[in-house]
Amino acid sequence: MSFNSLITNFAELEVGQHLYWQIGNIRIHGQVFLTSWILLGALLVFISLGTKKMENDPKGLQNLLEFLWDYIRDLSRTQIGEKVYRDWMPFIGTLFLFVFVSNWGGALIPWRLIKLPSGELGAPTADINTTIALALLVSLSYFYAGLSNKGWRYFEYYVHPTPIMLPFKILEDFTKPLSLSFRLFGNILADELVVSVLVFLVPLVLPIPVMFLGLFTSAIQALIFATLAAYYIGEAVEEHH
Amino acid sequence: MLAFSIFATEGGLFDINATLPLMAIQVVALTYLLNSLFFKPVGNVVEKRERYVSSNLKEAKNKLVEVEKLEADLLSQLQSARTEALKIVNEAEKDSDKLYQEAVELANNEANASKEKSRLEIESQTSSARKQLSDQADEISELIVNKLIQSK
């Protein structure tokens, strides 16, 4: 019996299968949108509850949201700098919250229990489309930030210490979104796969530490993504002397 | 069923399609939504509180400076009052000393005057007594002389 057929007999793992929705003549991955709508809906409900009655003396949910706000402000201020961090804080915060909620939602909610005709529900960030979309938004943002803050002088950045840097800096514009998207995609997909394979092989105690590790990785990936996005924007608006 | 088709024609891990731009639009919309629902209201509250705290802190610092100034002022006032009181006490002591000296002098003078007066009186009495005595002595001597003469 070959390895493949052995697996086929037991496994109910589905990798690279999608629930396709056909809209006109475009096809999209339905499961990604389904989970993202559920998770973002939960996030928005959570935020509306916390900001419903804002008081000067914060209590409960408002306290948590203020802590989150402060965390995001510190993150964007340290990376982008005092001058323009205000303009980019909502974007950095949205990236952080979106990635964090997607990662944790994918890891914590037993999506497997919901059966789909094809593919399965999971973290929206485990789909390459989502991560590339986020990474491209980051690329657009830092170009926009640089151009709107410094005008054409933004391109001095490409020859900054010496013109020798030009090809590397141009290459960086391609490697930045590539590394951003593949880092997030790879980490979250790998985590989901490891957990599913372990659950499939040893359904009892063994997957639990790996699940905790997955939660840790998920949080760290959200932080890394937001920090790098802020760093790229900060790099673009930084004044060279 | 394990379907591990990475580069399959239908599906696969790297199946990039219209999900990408739609997800990008969704994230941009989420950014605006979170900005108006979360970042702006929470930021307003937090920054209002930060301003309130910092202005109160500034006010308290100003008040502390004022209090310290007042305290120094009061201390200097206390110091000057103390020196003034000391001056007054010294003056009073000097005054009373002077009065005492004067009284003593007056008493001394009075005593001296009365002493002088009694001395003069004694002297005059002494001289008159002496004179009387010498008169009597003269008388007696005359008597003796007379007796001697008679007896001869």
DSSP line for A166-208: HHHHHHHHHHHHHHHHHHHHHHHHHHHHHHHHHHHH--SSTHH
CA A18 to CA A32: how far, in whole Å? 9
Q: What is the DSSP letter of A83?
A: T
Contacts of B19 in chain A (CB under 8 A): 28-29, 32-33, 127, 129-130, 133
A–B interface: beta-carbon pairs under 8 A? 136
Give the angle B82-B85-B91 at the CA atoms, nearest 5°: 145
pLDDT for residue A216 is more than 50: yes
| Nearest CA-CA partner of A223 in A113, A30, A93 | A93
| Residue percentage of chain B with pLDDT more than 90 | 84
Q: What is the DSSP letter of B35?
A: I
Task: Name the residue in chain B with its Cα closest to that of A27.
Answer: B18
CA A70 to CA A58: how far, in whole Å? 13
Task: Name the residue in chain B with its Cα closest to that of A96.
Answer: B31
Whole-structure pTM value? 0.76
CA A230 to CA A97: how far, in whole Å? 14
Average pLDDT of the residues of chain B: 90
Contacts of A128 in chain B (CB under 8 A): 13-16
CA B95 to CA B89: how far, in whole Å? 10
User: Cβ contact (<8 Å) for A14 and B43?
Assistant: no
Dihedral through CA B136, CA B137, CA B138, CA B143, nearest 10?
A: 90
CA A212 to CA A219: how far, in whole Å? 11
DSSP B83-111: HHHHHHHHHHHHHHHHHHHHHHHHHHHHH
pLDDT tier for residue B10 given thresholds of 50, 70 and 90: low
Contacts of B47 in chain A (CB under 8 A): none
pLDDT tier for residue B88 given thresholds of 50, 70 and 90: very high
pLDDT at B122: 94
**Which residue is associated with the tokens 């706000």?**
A69
DSSP alpha helix (H) spans, chain B:
19-34, 40-151
User: Cβ contact (<8 Å) for A28 and B22?
Assistant: yes
User: How close B83 gets to chain A, by Cα (Å)?
Assistant: 53
Contacts of B11 in chain A (CB under 8 A): 16-18, 119
ipTM reported for the complex, 2 dp:
0.88
Task: Name the residue in chain A with its Cα closest to that of B41.
Answer: A51
User: Cβ contact (<8 Å) for A7 and B12?
Assistant: no
Average pLDDT of the residues of chain A: 88
pLDDT for residue B107 is more than 60: yes
pLDDT for residue A3 is more than 60: no
Span A181-210, mean pLDDT?
88
pLDDT tier for residue B16 given thresholds of 50, 70 and 90: confident
Task: Name the residue in chain A with its Cα closest to that of B6.
Answer: A16
Contacts of B49 in chain A (CB under 8 A): 56
pLDDT tier for residue A22 given thresholds of 50, 70 and 90: confident
Of the given ranges (A40-44, A160-164, A185-189, B128-132), which has the lowest mean pLDDT?
A160-164
Span A65-93, mean pLDDT?
94
Q: What is the DSSP letter of B38?
A: I
Contact status, residue A209 vs residue A191, Cβ threshold 8 Å: no
pLDDT at B18: 87
CA B51 to CA B40: how far, in whole Å? 16
Distances (CA, A) of B103 to A140, B31, B106: 109, 103, 5
CA B27 to CA B34: how far, in whole Å? 10
Residue A63: count of CB within 10 angstroms of its CB: 12
pLDDT at A133: 96
User: How close B76 gets to chain A, by Cα (Å)?
Assistant: 44
Q: How many CA atoms lie within 13 Å of A172's alpha carbon, on the beta-carbon side? A: 13
Task: Name the residue in chain A with its Cα closest to that of B32.
Answer: A90
User: Cβ contact (<8 Å) for A93 and B39?
Assistant: yes
CA B131 to CA A115: how far, in whole Å? 165
Determine which helix (DSSP H) or strand (DSSP E) holds B2, and give its type and residue range.
Answer: none
pLDDT tier for residue A215 given thresholds of 50, 70 and 90: very high
**Amino acid code (one letter) for B38:** F
Of the given ranges (A11-25, A136-150, A164-178, B35-49), which has the lowest mean pLDDT?
A11-25
CA B20 to CA A150: how far, in whole Å? 30
Contact status, residue B46 vs residue A69, Cβ threshold 8 Å: yes
CA A86 to CA A83: how far, in whole Å? 8
pLDDT for residue A190 is more than 70: yes
